[in-house]
Structure 1
Amino acid sequence: MPEETFVIVGASLAGAKAAETLREEGFTGRVLLIGDEIERPYERPPLSKGFLLDQEPREKAHVHEADWYDKHDVELRLGVAVESIDRAEHRVRLSTKEEVGYDRLLLTTGASPRHLEVPGAKLQGIHYLRTMADSAALKQAFAPGGRRVVVAGGGWIGLETAAAARTYGNDVTIIEPEPTPLHAALGPELGGVFADLHREHGVDLRLGQGVAGFWGAGQVSAVVTSGGAEVPADVVIVGIGARPNTRLAEEAGLDVSDGILVDASLRTSDPDIHAAGDVANAFNPLLGRRIRVEHWANALNSGPAAARAMLGQDVSYDHVPYFFTDQYDLGMEMAGVATPGEYDEVVYRGDFSGREFIAFWLSGGRVVAGMNVNVWDVTDDVQALIRSGRPVDTARLTDPEVPLTDLV
């Protein structure tokens, strides 16, 4: 019987961890990991954190050592794109014009930054952050200090790059249409915490305004806001969200809606094709609904889950969404989903004004999300509260003397 071939499209964290898991689980067939970047698989958090700040070497971001792929008989094809999927013939066509057959296919094609479609958007000096090369270019732009940096978008990428720019000694302005940064992710209560944090570090926040265009003669020199103001700029970072890379799936006829639709085992509408990471819109049994998560932990965990499902194991991917950030002297971990309109109240345990606290989002008396700010070693307990789905006593929840483990 010929050996099976498992093809992974997307040499990302999710793809690399899937390949690793296939070998750990004893799969002896052919594993082909294909990526259109020339960089071997890497983790993305350092791109807006340690690597961007020049605090960590490039190599630290890589998922595996350079020789890991050869040692584990994983065929790593870099700088090669997959152009199409032939589901009937179980083949993928590469940009090299080769065709490769597969028994199982995993799509970890990730997401791409949303671009601003406004006048002047093609000027030099306007940056997007997704790849290692993008981060290296930003580092070079920030490093001299004394630059005028404008950040379009007050989401996670916008805030982290703003903090990095300030750390390098640049003047920074954030332009954000919502009333607070992170409004869609955290709501106004915690969004205000990050607004205050950045203001304290000298960032000019222009809230309730969007970007209407850019001025410049070849090189960007100013950002025009929706209110008509002109903000001088030497460097611009656009961080207005990302779109899942679904073209391959769409053209192959897979079910797609805000990502590739997959079930709890990360299987697409084709039983021989799975999807994981940023591109997968997965049914989460714990939440009872679909969710597409673009954070590091989802890539880290969903790649291995998809690999096990490809091997025929019983998989139910029900992870609690998790995210972390470091900005200036604030470190934070977030678990769960705190979508405005889907919670009743936010309560706090600890020193809110001193930024050493845990925030809990409640819906129907149940914890649906938690965020620990400069408080450590509580993430497992917060996730256990979310998983329990049981109503909690708010007075005990907010009392630092009551162990969180007593509330589960």
Structure 2
Amino acid sequence: MSLKPAVTVHRRIAEIGREAWDACAGNPAYAGNPFIRFDFLDSLEAADCAVERTGWGPQHLAVEDEAGRVAAVMPLYLKSHSQGEYIFDHAWADAYERAGGRYYPKLLSAAPFTPATGARLLVRPDVDVAQARGMLLGGALAVCREFGASSLHVNFPTADEWRWMGEEGLAQREGQQYHWHNRGYASFDDFLGALSSGRRKTIRRERRDAQADLEILRLTGAELTEEHWNAFFGFYMDTGSRKWGRPYLTRRFFSLLGERMADRVLLVMARRHGRWIAGALNLIGDDCLYGRNWGCVEDVPFLHFELCYYQAIEWAIERGLERVEAGAQGEHKIARGYLPSAVYSTHYIADPALRAPVEAFVARERASVEADIEWLAEEYSPFRREAT
């Protein structure tokens, strides 16, 4: 399939359109990742979350084939800060600006506010992948030059994209998260059977204490109502205000998510005597459950573990999903069956004076992260040795 030589830039994903975008994002190779679909990204723009005013100026790229159909796309944002990214480059920005440089604006390819791995160079299944990727990356670098941006960052790409971009000269960074993997468990008790006896007892006690006097519901699809979103937004705002000062998502975003992607949403909610007190938001992929946001208005011991980790594992087992990705950070997840896993990013730095130290840093960091992953999995795994 021949491609037109031009790469077009779009200030809203709506300019590309759902059908054209999802023809690329729906490539079976991406395993139904919900965060790269049109409805998720467009909801963030329509709800004023990922827009110029919040420092997320859309600059999405598209490549067309000779017939004029969109053949490949790339989510891309012109950023005036480094918030909501979960791959931290604040130290780079500080060092560059102390030396007299201007780090912002920068370009970022990612699913906004979402530390989940997913394809960033989205290619229609019948299109040559190498050619389309090359055009998208070249287009992103051209946008970087056009705006005088300091850098281009691609956060949480797939491992295959990460390797390819490394071969194209981008600096390769590695981080870690904690993921639960389904080893063919028939039930939650079957999963517990793979753990050490001490961990089994602890998890059973945590679940018992968390569930005492509470009603816990798992809501998806048509079960989701504005009542649930009203309650959850209250949890989200309370937690977000305490953790980072300015929550990223608006109330309208959650309504749009419920309207457009209800079948991809799992909302785990807890209530006491008819009053909602806590909730955890997950998005459903074809092979993975992605934990995203949590909040509460009542402090209940172990309820965070119950709603975010144990309910997610139980639901994934029931649906036969391969894994649960519980979001960023948190070594405490290891004891609950979530083992360290590598995540990736790539970085192009325009100024050679900054590029060289960044490349040296990420090379050292990568070796350290890989060693940490191996050590943590070996020393702190809750699984019985014979079960691994």
TM-score w.r.t. the length of structure 2 is 0.27
**Greater strand share, 1 or 2?**
1
TM-score w.r.t. the length of structure 1 is 0.26
Structure with greater contact order relative to length (CA < 8 Å, sep ≥ 6): 2
